[in-house]
Amino acid sequence: MNKKNNKTVKIIPLGGLEQIGMNITAIEYEDSIIVVDCGLSFPDDDMLGIDLVIPDVTYLVENKDKVKGLVITHGHEDHIGSIPYVEKQINMPIYATKLTMGIIESKLDEHGLMNNVKRKVVSYGQTINLGCFRIEFIRTNHSIADSAALAIFTPEGIIVHTGDFKVDYTPVFGGIIDLQRFGELGKKGVLALMADSTNVERPGFTPSEMMVGRTFNEIFDDNVHHRMIIATFASNVDRVQMIINTAAKYKRKVIVDGRSMINIIRIASELGYINIPDNTLIEIDDAKNYPDEQLVYITTGSQGENMAVLSRIASNTHNKISVKPGDVVVLSSNPIPGNEKSVYNIINDLEMKGAHVINHNTHVSGHACQEELKLIYALTKPKYAIPVHGEYRHLKRHALLANEMGIPMENVKIMKSGDVLEVSNDTFDITGRVPAQGVLVDGLGVGDVGNIVLRDRQHLSENGLIVVVVTLEKYSNQILAGPDIVSRGFVYVRESESLIDDCRMVVQETLDDCLSRYNNCDWSKIKGAIKDSLGEFLWKRTKRSPMILPIISEV
C-alpha cells in the first residue's frame, strides 16, 4: 500500500494473543500511548513452581514518558491481575467503571499502592482525553457487571475494542449492551475493530445468564432435603446473585467461602452490584445451628484449583466443611482448556464420598458466539479487523468470519503478542516487534525465574538429582573424605547400594585420573570430568540422566 501520509496509529499487543489470558495492548500515536487492560495468565503445566505469568512491559518502561493512562474493560483477572506489578514499574493513572475500579482498588491496597496510583471511575457514555486520544466507554454484557467496550478516537480514525462481551437481552444486573452506540460509530466510520475471539468457533448465540437461573430453580426444587455446595467463578457476580436469590426463595441460609469469593461479594455489595436479602447470609461457624437442608455453600474451586475451597473439601483438608453422603455439589462453570483433568479428579473424589455432583447446564459463557460477532461487524462496518483474545485457532477462525462479513482478507491481521501493527486510512502493516515473552512470578520473585531455571526444574522433576561430595587437602589435593554420593529423586539409596557403590568407584577413578594428570587441577575441570563420566555411566546402567551436582571442599 502507498502511504499518503507517514503518520500511523501503532497497535502493540503485549499479551492476550496465542493464549486465553494476560490481555494487554498498547496503542500509540506520536508522543501518546494508552494501555488497554493489564491482565495475568496462569502457568502452563511445564512452568514448574510458577504462580503467575505477567506481561513483559519493557516497551512501556522504555517509553514511560509517553504513557498517558491505563484503560480497563472489565474486572476479570486476565484483564486486571497484573496491575499492581506493572504500576510498580510505570505509574499510570487508571480509568475504569465503578465495580471494576472497586476490584482493582482491593488489589492495589494489598500491594500498598493505594496512595501512589491516580484513579478515575468512568460511566458509560463518558469520554476521557489522554494525550491525543479520546476514549469512550460503551455498555456491554459479560459474566461480570460493569463491562465496557471502548471507542478510541485517534487522529487517524476510530478504533473500537469490544473487550470481553456477549449480547444478553435479559441480563441479571444492569442494562443491555448498547448496540445503538455501536451502530452510531459505524455510521461515523470505524477504522479498525478489535473484537473478542474466545467463542468464535461456536455457531449461533450465547444463551442469556437467566438460563442458568432457571436451571438453579430446578436443582433447588429437586434437592429440598439435601445440603448444597455450589462452586463458581468468584468474579461472576451475576451468577452469585442468582444463587443467593434462589436460596432466599427456598428459605435457605447462604455461607460464602473462599478468599476471592468473600472479597468480591464484599466489594459488589458495598457498591450496590449485588443485593443480599436480610438474614440470608450467615457465617461458616453458624452453619452448625441449622439442619443440612437449609444450607447452601457458595465456594471457589470450580476449575479444580489446588488450594481453592472445593479442592480442599474433596481432599478432606478443609477445616470446617466435609462432604457427607447425600450432599449435592454443583459446578457452575465449564472447565477451562487444560483444567479438565483437575476438575474430573475433584468430581471423582466427591462422588466417592457419597456426594451427587451436577455439572451440566449450570453455566453459560460470557463470550460472543458467531452470530453476535457478526452483529457487531454489521453495526460497526470496520475498514480493518484485528481479532484479539484467543489462541491462534480462534484468531484464524475470527479472520474468516470477518471475511464472511465483507472485509477483504488483506484488511484482516492475525497478530502475535509483540507485533507492531501500523494503521491509518491507507496503511495496515506489521512493521516490527517489541519484547512480549511474559514474566514469571514465583512467590515474591518477579522475573527472577527464566528459561534456564525452568529447564533445571524440568530436569530435576523428570530425572532427579545426584550430589557428589569430595573433600580435598589444601595444597596437596589428597582426597581426605569421599567421594560420597547423595541421591534425591533418582533412586532410593537403601535399595540400590550396589549402584551407588559403582557410582563411587567411577567418581574415584575420575578423581585419581584428574589429580594425577594435573598438579594444580582446576576445580571446574574436575567437576566437569565427574559430570561427564558419571553421567555416561548412569545412562548405560539405568537409561536415566539425573542432574549431577559435584561439591568439592578444601581443608
Active site residues: 196, 367
CB 7: neighbour CB atoms within 10 A?
13
Alpha-carbon span 122 to 325, nearest angstrom:
49
Alpha-carbon span 1 to 422, nearest angstrom:
12
What are 470's strand-pairing partners?
Answer: 552
CB 303: neighbour CB atoms within 10 A?
23
Rg (CA), the chain: 29
What are 96's strand-pairing partners?
Answer: 121
Fill in the amino acid letter for 234: A
Residue carrying C-alpha cell 503445566: 45
Most distant CA atoms of the chain, gap in Å = 88
Task: Look at the chain and count its residues.
Answer: 555
Long-range contacts of 120-123 (CB under 8 A, 24+ apart): 120/93, 120/94, 120/95, 121/96, 121/97, 122/95, 122/96, 122/97, 122/148, 123/97, 123/98
In DSSP notation, 281-302 reads B--GGGGGGS-GGGEEEEES-T
Q: Is 247 helix (H, G, I), strand (E, B) or coil?
A: helix
CA 461 to chain centre: 24
CA 465 to chain centre: 32
Pair type for strands 127-130 and 133-139: antiparallel
Please name which of 162, 148, 159 lies closest in space to residue 188, comparing C-alpha atoms. 159
In DSSP notation, 128-173 reads EEETTEEEEEEE-B-SSTT-EEEEEEETTEEEEE--S-B--SS-SS
Output phi, psi for 281, to 5 deg: -85, 130
Name, in order, each residue with C-beta under 8 angstroms of 412's C-beta and a sequence gap of 6 or more.
Answer: 384, 385, 386, 387, 399, 402, 403
Cα-based angle 287, 289, 291 (whole degrees, multiple of 5): 80
Fill in the amino acid letter for 78: D
Cell of 290: 441449622
